[in-house]
Amino acid sequence: MSFLTLEKLSKVYGDFAAARDIDLNVAKGEFVSLLGPSGCGKTTTLQMIAGLIEPTTGTIMLDGSDITREKPNRRGLGIVFQSYALFPHMTVAQNVAFGLEMRKIAKAERDERVKAMLALVHLAAFAERYPRQLSGGQRQRVAIARALVIQPPVLLLDEPLSNLDAKLREEMQFELRRIQQRVGTTTIMVTHDQAEALSISDRVVVMEQGRMTQVDAPYKLYENPATPFISTFVGKMNRLEGIWRKGAAEVAGIALPAEAGGLAEGAAIAVSIRPEKLVLKTPGQGRIDGTIANRFFLGGSWLFTVETAAGAILVSAPNDGEEPAREGAKVALDWAPASLRIEPLAQGAAA
Amino acid sequence: MSVGRSAATPFWLAGPGALLFLGLVVLPLVLTVILSFHVYDHTTGIKNEFTLAHYAAVFSDEYYLGIFWRTLRLAGLTTLICVLIGAPEAYILSRMRDPWRSVFLLVIIGPLLVSVVVRAFGWSMLLGSTGLVNQALQGLGFDSVRLLYTETAIVIALVHVMLPFMVIPVWTALQKLDPMVEAAAWSLGASHFTALRRVVLPQVSLGMLSGSLIVFGLSASAFAIPGLLGGRRLKMAATLVYDEYMHELNWPLGATIAIIVLVANLVIMLAYNRVIETRARKALG
C-alpha cells in the first residue's frame, strides 16, 4: 500500500525540464533516497513534495489525499534543509518548539515533547544553547529534531550530511538511520553521495537529467545497474567494450570467458565487472595477465590498477595483513565467469 | 630590533588616521565647547570671560526648548516612517530577481546623487500652494492644503532623503539571511506573516537598528530641509544654530545650542543602541 505517491510529476522551466515524469510509490515507514549528480532534478523533486516548488504537471498523493496544490505550511511535512536553516535567534529548545507552537499545542505538552525529542537526538544538555554555539553535527541533529517533533507523515532530507566532515558524516548516517527506525517516519532523502544512499536506504531512486532511471534496493542497484551511468556512479566499475565471439566476450583480441545468452555472433558488447569480483593470482594462473601500474592502500582493502592487453582494470583486494604485490609486478587476473556482466551495445546508440 | 619595530608599527599605521581625527573632529569640538562658555556682549562681541549664562538661558527659555522638542519629535517621526517604509522595501528588494533588483536598488540610491538642496527645492515646488500636489487636489475637487512651511513638509522631505540609509542596512542584513530559513518556518506550519514576524524580522533587527541610528542622527541635525521647507518660523536645531551664528552673531550661544544638540543626540542614540543591541546581540552573536 503506497503512502506517498508521485504520479507523472514534472517541472519545466521554459524549454528545460528540471524533472520529468517522476513516478514513485513510497510505502509507510520506508526510507527512500533520491540519488544523482548535481542538476539531475533530485532536489527539484524533493522541493515539489515539500511544496516549495509548484509542479508543472502531475500529482502528489499523501495517504490518499491530493496535496499537489497544498501550501507548504499546510502539508505538515518535516524538512531538514541542506543548510539546516535553523533559526539563529532562538535557542535549541525554541527552535524545536517552533512547529509545536504553530500547532497551538499547550506549553506543558510542548516542553514535554521538545525534551523527549532532544533526548532522542542526544542533545538534552544543549537545550538552552544558540545554534551558533553548536558544532555542525549538533546543528544537524537540531534540524532533525525540529522536523520530527511535529510528527510529520513524511520526513524530507535535502543533502542532510553534505556539510559534515567525512568521519562525522559516517557517524551521522548510523544516527539518522537509528532515529528513523525508532520513530518509523517515512523518509525521503536527497543525496549525491552514493555510499550514503546505499548504506541507509531501503530503496534508492537514481536520477539522471531529470528522469528516474532505476528504483531498487541498494544491493540490487549495485549488482544490477540499469544503465552504464549507474554502473559507474554507484561504486567502481570496470567497463570494456568488445564483441561476442564463440560464446565468450572478446576484448582487444583476448577471449574472456563469460555467461550470456541470446547474443548473436559478432555482436558489439560492453563487458563490466566490479573490482572486488576480481582476484589477483601469480602470472599464468589466471584468465588474463597484466602488470600492476598503481596500488592504493584504503585500510580495509587495496585498490590496484592493472595494465592488461584489454586495457587498465581496477582490482580491489581485501587487506589480509600481508603486503601484496608492488607496482611493476607481473600478475594474473581471475574471476568467476558469472560475475562478468555482458550487455549488447545498440548499434549507433550512445554507450 | 624586530620586536621594537612590531611594537611601534600599530601606532605608525594608526597615526595618519588619528591625526586627521584629532584635527578635524576633536579639535573643532573642543574649541566649540570652549566657545560656548565665553561671555557675549551685543555691543562689544565675544569677551575673554567665562560664564554658564548661555546654558542657563537655553534651558530656561520656552522658545529654545520648543525647538529642541520639535527637532526630537520630527527626527523620531522620520525614523519611524523610514522603518515602516524602508524595511518592507528592503525585503521586497531582496526578493527581486536580478535585472529588476539592480534597477530598483539604483532607484533607491539614485537620489543620493542629487544635492539635498536641489531636492528640497524640488519638494517646495511640489508642495507649494500652487504646486503639483495642490493642483492635483483641486483638479479632483478637494480644497487646497497648506503643506509648504509645515512640519508635514519637513517630514516628507526628510523621509525621502533618509530612506536609502534605512533600506541599505536592512537589505545587507537580509542578504546574510539563509533564504531557506523562511521555508523552514513555513514547513513547520507558520503562515507567511508569522514567518516574517517570528523568523525574518528578529534577524534583521540589527540592520533596522543601525538604519534608525543613522536616520535619527542625520534628521536631528538636518539643516537644508528644515531651512528650505520649514521657512523662517518653523525652526529645527540646526537652523537655530545657523541663525545664532549668522544673524544674531551670538557665536557662544550658537555653540551652546550645538553642544546641547550633540550631547542629546549622543545620549539618545547610545541609550537606544544599548537597549536594542544587547538584546539582539545575545541571540545573534
What are the pLDDT digits (tens) for B231-245?
A: 888 889 889 999 888
A237 with A231: CB under 8 angstroms? yes
Most confident of B10-14, B84-88, B229-233: B84-88
A219, pLDDT greater than 90: yes
pLDDT of residue B128: 86
pLDDT of residue A102: 94
What are the pLDDT digits (tens) for A120-136?
A: 889 999 999 999 999 98
CATH number at residue A38: 3.40.50.300
C-alpha–C-alpha distance, residues A171 and B35, integer Å: 71
C-alpha–C-alpha distance, residues A58 and A137, integer Å: 36
Over residues B44-71, mean pLDDT: 90
B150 with B112: CB under 8 angstroms? no
A215, pLDDT greater than 80: yes
Percent of chain B scoring above 70 in pLDDT: 96
A139, pLDDT greater than 90: yes
C-alpha–C-alpha distance, residues B68 and B66, integer Å: 5
**A291 and A170 in a common domain:** no
User: pLDDT band at B17, cuts 50/70/90?
Assistant: very high
Q: Does B59 touch chain A (CB under 8 A)?
A: no
Q: What are phi and psi of A348, to 5 degrees?
A: 85, -20
Of A198, A233, A268, which residue sits at a domain end? A233
What's the domain range around A75?
2-233
Distance from CA of B199 to the nearest CA of A (A): 7
Sequence-distant (6+) residues with CB within 8 A of B109 are B164, B168
User: pLDDT band at B4, cuts 50/70/90?
Assistant: low
Q: Does B249 touch chain A (CB under 8 A)?
A: no
Q: How far is CA B99 from the centre of its chain?
A: 30
**A220 and A264 in a common domain:** no
| Residues of chain B found within 8 Å of residue A77, distances taken between Cβ atoms | 187
pLDDT of residue A346: 67
Instruction: Please tell me which residue of chain A has the smallest CA distance to B206.
Output: A89
A72 to B198: CB separation less than 8 angstroms, yes or no? no
A79 to B187: CB separation less than 8 angstroms, yes or no? yes
Q: What are phi and psi of B21, to 5 degrees?
A: -65, -45
C-alpha–C-alpha distance, residues A226 and A259, integer Å: 18
A264, pLDDT greater than 80: no
Distance from CA of A201 to the nearest CA of B (A): 23
Residue in A76, A81, A132 nearest the CB of B184: A81
B93 with B104: CB under 8 angstroms? yes
pLDDT of residue B70: 93
DSSP type of residue A74: H
Distance from CA of A198 to the nearest CA of B (A): 27
B191 to A130: CB separation less than 8 angstroms, yes or no? no
pLDDT of residue B71: 93
**A265 and A129 in a common domain:** no
User: pLDDT band at A206, cuts 50/70/90?
Assistant: very high
B190 to A102: CB separation less than 8 angstroms, yes or no? yes
Mean pLDDT of chain B: 89
**A92 and A145 in a common domain:** yes
Instruction: Please tell me which residue of chain B has the smallest CA distance to A144.
Output: B184
A79 to B284: CB separation less than 8 angstroms, yes or no? no
pLDDT of residue A284: 83
Over residues A206-232, mean pLDDT: 90
Of A233, A263, A297, which residue sits at a domain end? A233
What are the pLDDT digits (tens) for B102-145?
A: 898 888 888 888 888 999 999 989 988 888 888 888 888 888 88
Among A30-44, B40-54, B152-166, which stretch is predicted with the lowest mean pLDDT?
B40-54
Is residue A351 assigned to a domain? no
B190 to A50: CB separation less than 8 angstroms, yes or no? no
C-alpha–C-alpha distance, residues A168 and A301, integer Å: 21
A332 with A286: CB under 8 angstroms? yes
DSSP type of residue B115: -
B282, pLDDT greater than 70: no
Residue in B185, B188, B203 nearest the CB of A89: B203
A347, pLDDT greater than 60: no
C-alpha–C-alpha distance, residues B88 and A20, integer Å: 37
A348, pLDDT greater than 70: no
In total, the C-beta contacts within 8 angstroms joining chain A to chain B are 72
B189 to A85: CB separation less than 8 angstroms, yes or no? no
**A311 and A211 in a common domain:** no
Distance from CA of B191 to the nearest CA of A (A): 6
**A110 and A25 in a common domain:** yes
C-alpha–C-alpha distance, residues B115 and B210, integer Å: 23
**A213 and A86 in a common domain:** yes
**A215 and A112 in a common domain:** yes
Residue in A82, A102, A130 nearest the CB of B188: A102
**A167 and A18 in a common domain:** yes
Tally of CB atoms within 10 A around B193: 8
Q: Which run of H or E residues covers position A270?
A: strand A268-273
A4 with A65: CB under 8 angstroms? no
Is residue A168 assigned to a domain? yes
What are the pLDDT digits (tens) for B178-204?
A: 889 999 999 999 999 999 999 999 888
C-alpha–C-alpha distance, residues B47 and B33, integer Å: 15
**A276 and A219 in a common domain:** no
pLDDT of residue B284: 61
Nearest to A74 by CA among B191, B228, B71, B35: B191
pLDDT of residue A256: 80
A146, pLDDT greater than 70: yes
A350, pLDDT greater than 70: no
Q: Does B197 touch chain A (CB under 8 A)?
A: no
In single-letter form, the type of residue at position B5 comes to R
**A164 and A294 in a common domain:** no
Q: Which domains does chain B have, with CATH numbers?
A: 58-112+162-284 (1.10.3720.10)
What are the pLDDT digits (tens) for A48-106?
A: 999 999 999 999 999 989 999 999 999 999 999 999 999 998 999 999 999 999 999 99
